[in-house]
Amino acid sequence: MDAAKRTGRRIGINAHLLGSGEGYRRAGVSRYIAELLGHLEEADPEGDYVIFLPAGSSLRLTHQTRVLTRRTEGPARRVLWEQLELPRAAQREHLALLHSPVNVQPLLLPCQGVVTVMDLSFLVYPRSFLPQQRLYQTVFTSVSAQLAAQVIAICLQSAQDLVHR
């Protein structure tokens, strides 16, 4: 077993909302994930990372990074992967921590979790979301924030919304 696994420093990042084409996956969420991944080596050159990417991703990362890809097109497939398969992968990969950079982490996570909350627009502007999207985001974001070891809010407004709600 390598030193990173023995010391419990192996970190996973769920990058399945990283987009390469046009559409919502090229918006702020994708940029946040791309910037996060792009600065890993500089910020933590000794880090041991497992990055979970969508199949077909062309992202190139350092030699210390293990990349696992899976087809997760469509919301239902991605949610099932995120909640059922990702926790098993975290256990197989001996993760000490999983960062979920877009509001929701697996609810049955076998390691500590960090979740980044982008915003609570699904609560602030509910008519902009389909009922099933709003329900999923409302329930899973709330539970994820409660279960996470740390919550990152990307701006003061998101932090205030989280505290308020």
Helix (H, G, I), strand (E, B) or coil at 11: strand
Ordered structural domains, the chain, with CATH: 3-164 (3.40.50.2000)
pLDDT at 63 over 90: no
pLDDT band at 58; cut points 50, 70, 90: low
pLDDT at 20 over 90: no
Residue position matching structure tokens 């975290």: 90
Residues 13 and 36: their CA atoms lie apart, in Å, by 10
Q: What is the dihedral of CA 9, 101, 37, 92, to 10 degrees?
A: 40
Range with lowest mean pLDDT among 39-53, 55-69, 118-132: 55-69
